[in-house]
């Protein structure tokens, strides 16, 4: 079969893109398990529970803030490139980031300035998360930015970049940072305590 035909090139691009996505998903899953393992060793039970509550708030908040724009930007960028309209592609990317980041900043501000703390206390009964709510809000805004960047690359059919910016880089950085932290401060490991709080070993 002629590898230079349009159909063959499209097939190769699809197979290559699918391979990058699969490898990225597998690596992210493994690295996520490793990160959670490090957190379980370094944090007490209450702090670990607070982390998972914060993570849930970030995921829900980022999904709401994106307004489906993560899917829309893929279609708009791909359509603009297919029609050879670079101006339409630039406008789509610019508008997507403008709306997405504006929504993320508004919701993040609401979470950080009071309502978020009441949510953490009244719904989740987590004073730890309430105290850390400004950082949770910042995490949520960063998550929205990360998702929009990754999906924009996907619209350009740059699957490797989409996989890296889709969370793999963050997971790799997190694992490296935790390994370095453990190497520099090996004593900062929690051991289970009967009362439910971690105690420094």
Domain ranges of the chain: 12-185
Mean pLDDT of 62-78: 90
What pTM value is reported for the model? 0.76
Q: Give residue-wise pLDDT tens across range 75-90.
A: 999 888 888 888 889 9
The CATH number of the structural domain formed by 12-185 is 1.10.357
pLDDT at 95: 93
Residue 20: which of 172, 170, 165, 163 has the closest Cα?
163
- Would you say residue 174 has pLDDT above 70? yes
H-assigned helices in the chain:
6-42, 45-66, 69-82, 86-112, 115-122, 127-131, 133-155, 159-163, 169-184
Mean pLDDT of 118-127: 82
């Amino acid at each position: 079969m002629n590898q230079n035909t349009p159909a063959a090139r499209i097939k190769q691009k699809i197979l290559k893109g699918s391979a990058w996505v699969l490898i990225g998903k597998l690596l992210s899953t493994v690295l996520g398990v490793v990160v959670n393992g490090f957190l379980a060793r370094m944090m007490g039970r209450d702090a670990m529970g607070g982390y998972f509550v914060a993570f849930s708030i970030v995921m829900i908040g980022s999904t709401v803030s994106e307004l489906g724009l993560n899917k829309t930007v893929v279609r708009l960028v791909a359509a603009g490139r297919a029609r050879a309209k670079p101006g339409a592609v630039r406008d789509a990317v610019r508008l997507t980031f403008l709306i997405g980041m504006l929504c993320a900043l508004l919701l993040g501000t609401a979470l950080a300035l009071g309502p978020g703390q009441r949510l953490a206390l009244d719904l989740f009964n987590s004073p730890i998360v309430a105290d850390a709510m400004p950082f949770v809000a910042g995490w949520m805004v960063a998550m929205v930015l990360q998702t929009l960047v990754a999906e924009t690359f996907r619209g350009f059919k740059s699957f490797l970049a989409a996989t890296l910016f889709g969370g793999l880089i963050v997971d790799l950085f997190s694992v490296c940072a935790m390994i370095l932290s453990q190497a520099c401060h090996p004593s900062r490991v929690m051991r289970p305590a009967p009362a439910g709080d971690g105690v420094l070993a």
